[in-house]
Structure 1
Amino acid sequence: MTDQLKTVPIDLISPNPFQPRLHFNTQEIAELAQSISENGLIQPLIVRPSDIFGYELVAGERRLRAAKLAGLKEIDVLIKEMTDSDSMRQAIIENLQRSDLNPIEEAKSYKQLIERTQMTHEEIASSMGKSRPYISNSLRLLNLDYPLQEALEAGQISQGHARLLLSLDSNQEQMNWLHKITNDKLSVHQLEKALKEQKEKRSKKKRKNIFIEEQEKQLSQSLGLKVDLTYSKEAKGKLTINFSNQEDFHRLINKLL
């Protein structure tokens, strides 16, 4: 079957099940509906024959919604024979070309391609005109907890923020930093600097703990008793020597004297 351009009842067109866009701007749809009412539909929708009823939309979700809002009963379509994979790819490409998919919608689109068509990251990158690392980094955003994904979708944080938060060990820590970003209006650079300082402090503390543990071990071996050592940043601390009977106490006193 070759491509056909024809006018069909608008009610015969069902949405594309592979539509990656989850949110549509109602104001933009209303403005497009007004334009369609005044000027008609300039560009036909792309559809494919449905196995169930009528036609399935391939590309033109915004135009279809606006046309319905404008009260059109019939609409111009270009009918194409397409596989599920082709339909999905066409829907994603159309939306990506509009450049306003939010990062989570984009990542979910790539995930759909992988799960439904077994495409590799490299193949998707080539198909979409992106680099392989770009596709991989986009998919990593789906590892974020749902509240962080919501924040990214809403524009409260950027992809740069999100990638930095993914480097944190726990979901709770990610949430804590999310609150700091939104409350303190941290830029990506500021967040990167703060996380680097936090990592250095933890590393320094870990090294200090190893030193203290070694000192405790040496003192315990020397005294033959359990020793607890605490040490603060100000070089203050406390040494606790534990004994369980009078014999241990006298032996400790003799060693110290």
Structure 2
Amino acid sequence: MSPELKELNIKEIHPNPYQPRLNFDPVELSELAQSIIENGLIQPIIVRKSPILGYELIAGERRFRACQLAGLEKIPAIIKELSNDESMKQSIIENLQRADLNPIEEAKAYQNLIQKMELTHDEVATYMGKSRPYITNSLRLLNLPATIKKSLEQAEISQGHARLLLSLDSEEKQLEAFQTILKSNYTVKQLHKFLKTPQTSYKASNIFISEQEKLISQSLGLPVTISLTQSKSGTVKINFANLDDFNRIIDKLN
């Protein structure tokens, strides 16, 4: 049966459990909803008839959510006739190709294809038009500690940072280096150089910095953060809550 374009009652459509994208920016959704109110939905979503009830979303969940937000009762949809396995595979692949997924969402989508469809890394690479090492390196991101994965999802660190952290041989070292990235605002290049130094060297440096932070904080009675780069340049940040705190800092400096 050929795909059919039809207007469907939005309440008959249900999300797909294999949707790779897990996080939707509420501001972007609101902006898209306003555009849909003014201009209508230009690109239809893709669905299939659900074996249980109504229709199951295959691709276009962001548009679907924005239409719900816009208060639409009906939505244009392309209806495809697909089996459960075909629906899962197409949903994952179409969303991987279209959506701006973060690296963890992308890796989880590849993992879904491998586990549910029993595909090899080579087969996933062929489906996605990627190299096998790209798929393998993407999946390795799922081995990172939860704190680092969350930071990667939120774009606090880059995929380049994450791959360098994976080169460390323990979770403890990964978390320690991760904190250094956040504290010193390291680029990937700076992190690479930092990790090449002997571990005892940068541990000693971190301990010294922490001690100095405590001493200055005690002297001022205010929170102090010291950030040091690999080139030994850096910043000293003093946090104050009011004008009295600020005047106390000035008096100490004078």
Aligned to 2:49: 49
CA distance in 1, matches of 2:153, 2:58: 24
CA distance in 1, matches of 2:201, 2:44: 60
CA distance in 2, matches of 1:99, 1:181: 28
CA distance in 1, matches of 2:139, 2:126: 16
Mean CA deviation greater in 50-59 or 150-159: 150-159
Q: Structure 1 residue 124: deviation in Å?
A: 0.9
TM-score normalized with structure 2 length: 0.75
Larger radius of gyration: 1
- What code does the residue aligned with 2:65 have? R
TM-score normalized with structure 1 length: 0.74
Deviations 1:160-206 (CA, angstroms, capped at 9, x unpaired): 1111111212211111111101000111111111212226979xxxx
Q: Structure 1 residue 2: deviation in Å?
A: 2.8
CA distance in 2, matches of 1:63, 1:43: 8
Q: Structure 1 residue 99: deviation in Å?
A: 5.3
Give 3-state SS (helix, strand or coil) of 1:101's partner. coil
Deviations 1:37-70 (CA, angstroms, capped at 9, x unpaired): 1111112211001011000001110111111111
Q: Which runs of structure 1 show a deviation greater than 4 angstroms over 4 or more consecutive aligned residues?
A: 199-202
| Aligned counterparts, 1:153-192, within 5 A | 153-192=153-192
Give 3-state SS (helix, strand or coil) of 2:197's partner. helix
Number of aligned residues:
202
Aligned to 1:225: none
- What code does the residue aligned with 1:197 have? T
CA distance in 2, matches of 1:180, 1:98: 34
Aligned to 2:76: 76
Q: Structure 1 residue 91: deviation in Å?
A: 2.6
Deviations 1:127-182 (CA, angstroms, capped at 9, x unpaired): 11111100000000000010110111111211111111112122111111111010
| Aligned counterparts, 1:10-159, within 5 A | 10-98=10-98, 100-159=100-159
- What code does the residue aligned with 2:152 have? L
Q: Structure 1 residue 85: deviation in Å?
A: 3.2
CA distance in 1, matches of 2:83, 2:2: 14
Equivalent pair of 1:161/1:188 in contact (CA under 8 Å): yes
Alpha-carbon distance change, 179 to 199 in structure 1, aligned in 2, over 3 angstroms = closer
CA RMSD of aligned residues (A): 1.8
What are structure 1's unaligned runs of at least 5 residues? 203-257
CA distance in 2, matches of 1:191, 1:37: 46
What are structure 2's unaligned runs of at least 5 residues? 203-254
Give 3-state SS (helix, strand or coil) of 1:169's partner. coil
CA distance in 1, matches of 2:99, 2:16: 19
Tell me the percent identity.
Answer: 58
